[in-house]
Chain A
Amino acid sequence: MSIVWRSLRNLFRSPLRTTVMVALLAVCIGLALTMATVHGATQNQLGNIGAEIGTEITIQPAGSAGSAGSSGSGVVVAGVVGSDKTLAQEDIDKLSDIDHVVSVQARVETYYTGDSLESAFELSIVGNPPPGDSSSGDFRVPITVMGFDTATKDPKLMGDAHVEITKGRYFTSDENDADVMVVGKDLADKNNLSVGSTVDIKGTLVTVIGIYDSGTAWGNNMLVMPIGTAKRLFGLNGATSVTVQADNVKNVDEVVASIREVLPKDVADIITAKDMYESINGSVTNAESSSTIGMIVAFVVAGVVVLFSVVLMIRQRVKEIGILKAIGASNWRIGLQFSLETLAVSVVGAIIGALITYPLAQKVANLMVGGNSTGSGAGGTLIEGSASSVTVGGSIGGLHVAVSPTVFLYALAIAAALAIVASVLPAWYIGRVRPAEVLRNE
């Protein structure tokens, strides 16, 4: 019988003790791996936050940001609605040439208060009549009109709302000035609009080519048009808002400086997402620190559990150690047998711990980042802003934890490390056992 086989068999001498030891180790190693996984995810997330929030620069006509009701943090995502101020197209065209600029998304935003459409919102929600459309007689609840360049992929509405077509289609690139629009589903329901319906907007019949669901009530009460169409129908020039994306959060200041050369302070307000970046960054950094501490604590506890179990095991089997010594086993040989037993227990505990990590990691991450973050698809989690009710999104605030199969390799490494650490004390103890003492007649 080989020493390996004998060691494995020894584990079944006390099934209860082995089970308890494996269970404790599984929990500790599972927690350690969970913390390690969350730690890795937080580091990725910090990178994502930098790439997705911190790189966004919003440009609006000078003085319009305040009138548009910007958020408490000073971040304006929505832009100016109903304002007659715009950014000149020739200036916007220059922005794409600035170093470190990845994309430039121009848009116009205005209100429609004509008779052809009725808002899905009640009057009390909106409050005072907005500026802008003066064509109506009696006050009507305004409907937000957004105009996007048809080349813009995944256009963002206000806040985090995106246009997700549920019926019909979105614009094609050659429809920048076509009389077409897509309509939010609440607005479509309210006005009995379907794909193919036509609506008289300021004397022009505009065809509904798609219905979308933005995921928010506000976003679903909008008209979305090609930017050329919106400008033509509502008499706008340039753009009411431009979003510039820098390639890296580190280059934002440099990009802002270059934008300033094109658009001086008296022409445009430039708003970066630095405050928001720092706020969310702080939250995720806290989670990172907590996961690091948790990981260390779990490792230490796992080490203590193994050490305690091995000491208990050795003290219970001191007579056996004496017998083995009396028949000629070396300290090294006896130590190896106990180490193999510890390794076997640690490996089983580690594998179970790794399996625990799969369901546990996301839950722990959610707890660490905050109660209002929820796990979803690939990075698709949300953290909602507080005072301003501005929703910032995409894959920025929440923490999506993907547990990789390599977690098993880490688990085995932990098991090996624990077994090695836990072998030091037994080796010392075995060396001190005198057979004559432990085998003295009972």
Chain B
Amino acid sequence: MNNSNGTIVTVDKLIKHFKSGGSTVPAVDDVSFSLPRGRMIAIKGASGSGKSTLLNLIGALDKPTSGTIVVDGVDVSQIHGRGEVKYRLSKVGFVFQSYYLVPNMSALENVMLPMELMGTKRKERQVKARELLERVGIDDPHQARRPTRLSGGEQQRVAIARALANDPSIILGDEPTGNLDSKTGKRIVEILYSLTKEGKTVIVATHSTEIATRADIVLEMTDGKVTIASAFERV
């Protein structure tokens, strides 16, 4: 796993504590690992094991208590303000269990939004958003629909298209199939897996065996620690 040329994520002595009442709960407890570029990585573990927290720390949605996270050359633990915004905008794309699309915007507008934030011209972002949606199987009539008029699987595909909008190097998925039936979940996994063929790194926090079996690397987390790391040769 520790391939310096192809390493995209390096985590060193990472600790994240949450305060709960009067006590401190270690969500991520002294974790160190490196992940190679262009692979699908599954972070497995029971609820509360710290996998979502680890994902949020890699995606700069949360701040570590201590330790370092370097993603694609950026020390995520040290960035603030504009640096943090730029990182979220260009380096990572998020796919959430509950999709989290903006409710009063159409599927197309949701995918165009990160590009608008990036400053991409309107026409360009419209063309690219349509391409991305078609790529994840959302056809033209569905592109104009608001999230409430799309199925769960369709919403998650829109969310994947949105995550890809600014061409990030890492896609982070937090239980991306958690709200989907197995057939739809399988399709989502295939879409995510296909992204690795373009050199993107996909890191997914999951309970799903489906995803774990499809992943190149599986990190098992228990009580905030990475207990097992398994790497599989891609066939």
Contacts and interface: CB of A to CB of B under 8 A. Distances in A.
Contact of B117 (A9, A13, A329): A329
A434 B84 CA distance: 12
Contacts, number: 70
A224 B60 CA distance: 95
A328 interface: yes
Interface string B77-100: 000001001101110001011101
Contacts of B114: 327-328
A331 to B, nearest CB: 8
B88 A441 contact: no
A329 B118 CA distance: 9
B190 interface: no
B61 A436 contact: yes
Nearest to B108: A1
Interface string A239-282: 00000000000000000000000000000000000000000000
Nearest to A329: B117
A326 B82 contact: no
Interface in A314-333: 319-320, 322-330, 333
A176 to B, nearest CB: 82
Given A1-B112, A436-B61, A441-B175, A328 B100 contact: no
- Which one of A9, A324, A330 has the highest number of Cβ atoms from chain B below 10 Å of its Cβ? A330
B79 to A, nearest CB: 13
Q: Which of A322, A329, A434, A441 has the most CB of B within 10 A?
A: A441
B51 to A, nearest CB: 11
Contacts of A17: none
A1, A13, A442: residue with the most chain B Cβ atoms closer than 10 Å: A1
B165 to A, nearest CB: 8
Binding site secondary structure of chain A: helix
Given A6-B105, A13-B103, A328 B89 contact: yes
Q: What's the interface size class on A, roughly?
A: 20 to 34
Interface string A403-442: 0000000000000000000000000000000111101111
Nearest to B52: A441
A9 B104 contact: yes
A173 interface: no
A326 B105 contact: no
Which of A322, A326, A328, A435 counts the most chain B CB atoms within 10 A?
A: A328
Interface in A43-66: none
Nearest to A6: B105
Given A1-B105, A441-B175, A329 B85 contact: yes
A9 B117 CA distance: 18
A439 B99 CA distance: 10
Contacts of A319: 100
A434 B62 contact: yes
B131 interface: no
A327 B88 contact: yes
A347 to B, nearest CB: 20
Nearest to B168: A328
Interface of B: 52-53, 56, 59, 61-62, 82, 85-86, 88-90, 94, 96-98, 100-105, 109, 112-114, 116-118, 162, 166, 174-175, 178
Given A322-B100, A323-B102, 6 more contacts: A9-B104, A12-B104, A320-B102, A323-B100, A327-B94, A330-B117
